[in-house]
Amino acid sequence: MKKNRKVVLITGCSSGMGRESAYYLSKNGYTVYAGSRTPEKLSDIASENLVPIALDITDQNSVARAVQKLERIDVLVNNAGYGLVSTVEEVSEAEMLRQFDVNLFGVLRMCKAVIPLMRREKAGVIVNISSFLGKIGLPLFTLYNASKYALEGVTDSLRYELRPFGIRVHSIMPGFFDTNFARDNLVVNEGIRKENSPYAQTVSQLLPLILEQINHGNDAAQIAVMLHEIIQQSDAPARRTAGDKARKFIPMRRELSDEDFERRVRSYYGI
């Protein structure tokens, strides 16, 4: 590996945005360590500049082992995550904790492990792959929403906290993208599947529409290109939106009152 190449560590690279981003950056002048609980799934794109590594962001020891293998990390991309589909009434304690353990606490574990290396170099970039649902609530996605809202808060606070050390922190808020997310990374609570669930009508009305929008969403390669731009631009904005749904709803969210925006969302999704 060329020593002058910047080193990027990406979590959640088995598929979708993580895989696309790892491959794209490895072809554009970076040494990429592609983290995954199943690194063997990346063997087909592994190369001198793309190195799959075992990484489970819910396991502190796994995080420590992965980071210790690297002499330096110039860029951390917190991409790993999944979506829990459940109502608050029917969600289990284990489901609640798991959603936040992956989507929020896993990000914090990675930052905690990587920041000392970046601080030593007085430089670094952290990019959190969030969601437009980190600014917009939807029924059945309350826990996912909450984890992404919290991630946006982490991004905002870390920008202040790490700026004195030359470390930039950014967020990408994708809309719905055509990845394996709907197939592999949506976990549906068993209670809402039941015909006698008090939320059966909401489930039957909203969930198929959301799945349809995900499966016919934007190309994940767009995220890889945007990520590359953020890394390269020292004055990149704090957060960027990606995809049709994010570009539609995020500006609307800023412009309308809470009540007017809620009416728009209810009308759009028929809820």
Please compute Rg for the chain using Cα positions.
Answer: 19
Q: Tokens representing 41?
A: 């799934």
CB 226 within 8 A of CB 172: yes
Per-residue pLDDT tens over the stretch 76-94: 999 999 999 999 999 999 9
For residues 168 and 161, the answer to whether their CB atoms sit within 8 Å is no
Q: How far separated are the first and last CA of the chain, in Å rounded?
A: 53
Per residue, what are the HEC states of 79-124?
Answer: CCCCEEEECCCCCCHHHHHHHHHHHHHHHHHHHHHHHHHHHHHCCE
Contacts of 67 (CB under 8 A, 6+ apart): 9, 73, 113, 114, 117
More confident residue, 16 or 51: 51
- Secondary structure of residue 154 in the 3-state scheme: helix
pLDDT given at position 166:
98
Distance CA 83, CA 224 (A): 21
Could you read off the pLDDT of 188-213 as tens digits, one per residue? 898 888 889 999 988 888 888 888 87
The arrangement of strands across the sheet holding 167-174 comes to 50-54, 30-36, 6-10, 75-78, 124-129, 167-174, 239-242
> 141: which DSSP letter?
B
- The pTM of the full predicted model, rounded to 2 decimals, is 0.93
Task: List pLDDT tens digits, range 102-149.
Answer: 999 999 999 999 999 999 999 999 999 999 999 999 999 999 999 999
Q: Which long-range contacts (CB under 8 A, 24 or more apart) does 31-40 make?
A: 31/1, 31/2, 31/5, 31/6, 31/7, 32/7, 32/8, 33/7, 33/8, 33/9, 33/66, 33/69, 33/70, 34/10, 35/9, 35/10, 35/11, 35/66, 35/80, 36/12, 38/14
Model confidence over 56-70: pLDDT tens digits? 999 999 999 999 999
**pLDDT score, position 184:** 60
137: buried, middle or exposed (CB in 10 Å: 19+, 13-18, 0-12)?
middle
The class of domain 6-245 in CATH terms is alpha beta
Residues labelled catalytic: 14, 130, 144, 148
Average pLDDT rounded to a whole number, residues 229-249: 92
How much is the pLDDT for 248? 87
pLDDT greater than 90 at residue 55: yes
Distance, in Å, from the CA atom of 39 to the CA atom of 6, rounded to the nearest integer, reads 21
